Structures are given as C-alpha cells and as structure tokens.
Structure 1
C-alpha cells in the first residue's frame, strides 16, 4: 500500500513539474526548447555544479554539456563563473531570467503545505516530515 501511494505521489509531482516546465517554454526568440528547459532545471537542482558535474549527472559527454551550457548562457538563463584556483573549471548558476520561469513552483508548493497545515495536527505533520526525510535519504 505504501509503495503504491509513494509511486502515485511521485507521478503526480512529476506531472505537475512537467506541466509547469512546458507552460514556461514559449515559441519566441530567445525562449527555451524543452531540452534546454530540462538542462537548466537540472543545473538549478544541482546547486552550482561545474560543467563536468552537469555532464556526469545527465550522462553526456563534456563537449555536449559545454554546448548545452553555452546555449543557455547565450540566451541569458545561466551564468558561468571561472574558478580562481583552476581556470579550467567553470561553475554554473541559473540567472534571474531562469527564476522568472520556474519560481512559480515554489509559491504553489507553499500553498499546498499551508493547506496541509490546516488539515493535519502539528504532530501528524512532524511524523510525515520524518517519513519524507527518511525516503529522501534513500533516493
């Protein structure tokens, strides 16, 4: 029962994220393709990865990752920062332009958490948080 509930929750959340991602992708000059949107989102989720870390995470070659990063930077969705200690290493961060596309998810999630807070006791929410934290460590 728990397995089916968790799988259903993941499916719903993935669908929610995909809906937001594709709603953000617009057909106009400088907009993101679906692949670029996924790439930018992965970089955002990784924090401040290097190009090598990004390439390794999604299982592509370094030159392919560099191409994707350069496309995103040219469109203004990424910042590339050369490391002072090793000029060959470039750290990636998403820009304000990227945040304009994807910050809506956070606001909607805050509304959902507020609704849960009104529906459940603090003790129930604490138990749920412990379960979710344990699940997160297993992923």
Structure 2
C-alpha cells in the first residue's frame, strides 16, 4: 500500500509537469525540447554545477554536456559564469527566463501545499514535514542537493 501511494503521488506530480510542458508546445511558447527541459532542471537542482559536474551527474560525456549547455545558453535559460573559487572553472546558473518557465510548473505544488494546510492540523503538518525531511536527508543519500530549492 505504501509503495503504491508513494508511486501514485510521484506520478501525479510528474504528469502535471509534463502536461504543462506539452501545453507550451500547443501555444508555441515552448522553446525547450523535453531533453533540454530535463537538463536545465538538473542544472537548477545541482545549484551552480560546472559542466563536468553536470555531465557526471547525468552520466553523459563532457562533450555532450557542453553541447547541451551551449544550446541552453543560446536559448537564454542558462548562463556560464566564472567560478568565484577557481577562475579557471565556469559554473552554470539558470536565468530568470528559466525561473519563470519553471515557476509556472511549480504552481501545482503550491496548490497541493495549500490544500495540505487546509486539510491537516498544524501538528499533522509538522509530523509530515518530519517524515519528508527524514526521507530526503537520510533515506535518499544517493542524491545530495546543495541548496533548498525555491519553487515559487
């Protein structure tokens, strides 16, 4: 039961995100391919990775990663900035254009969070937050986020 419910919730968030992406194709607002969308989301989640860090994370060659990043730069979704700690390196950051694009997709998350706050007591929400924090920090050690993602 737990596995099925967790899978169902995860699938609903993914399907809502995909629906938003495809609706942009319908209105010709989309300028990112599906793969580019995934790449820029990974760059955002990794919080200023180098091209090499991005390539290693998504398990592609550095040349392939550089090609994908260059396309995202041309489209205005990613910037390549000189590293503050090592002037020989460049880090990747997302632009406001991406944040706007991504923010529209995060509206569903905001709506679900609003519904949670309406449906559950403060104590139940604190317990839920504890479970989520434990899952994120202790039970998912394979993925480490450098920052807390700002979704809205």
Q: Which runs of 5+ in 1 are unaligned?
A: none
Cα distance in 2 for residues equivalent to 1:26 and 1:54: 30
Secondary structure in 1 matching 2:80: strand
- With 77-86 and 33-42 compared, the bigger mean Cα shift is at 77-86
Look up the match of 1:121.
121
Question: How is 1:19-98 mapped onto 2 (pairs within 5 angstroms)?
Answer: 19-25=19-25, 31-98=31-98
- Aligned residues of 1:55 and 1:61 also touching (Cα < 8 A): yes
Deviation at 1:37, TM superposition (A): 1.3
Cα distance in 1 for residues equivalent to 2:102 and 2:29: 19
In the superposition, relative to structure 1, how do residues 21 and 57 fare at CA in structure 2: closer, same or farther (>3 Å)? farther
TM-score by length of 1: 0.87
In the superposition, relative to structure 1, how do residues 72 and 18 fare at CA in structure 2: closer, same or farther (>3 Å)? same
Q: Which runs of 4+ in 1 moved over 6 A?
A: none
Q: Return the structure number with greater helix share.
A: 1
Considering only aligned residues, what root-mean-square deviation do their CA atoms show, in Å?
2.2
Instruction: Figure out how many residues of one structure are paired with residues of the other and give that number.
Output: 139
Cα distance in 2 for residues equivalent to 1:26 and 1:95: 23
- Aligned residues of 1:25 and 1:33 also touching (Cα < 8 A): no
Look up the match of 2:102.
102
Q: Which runs of 5+ in 2 are unaligned?
A: 141-152
In the superposition, relative to structure 1, how do residues 6 and 66 fare at CA in structure 2: closer, same or farther (>3 Å)? same
Deviation at 1:60, TM superposition (A): 0.2
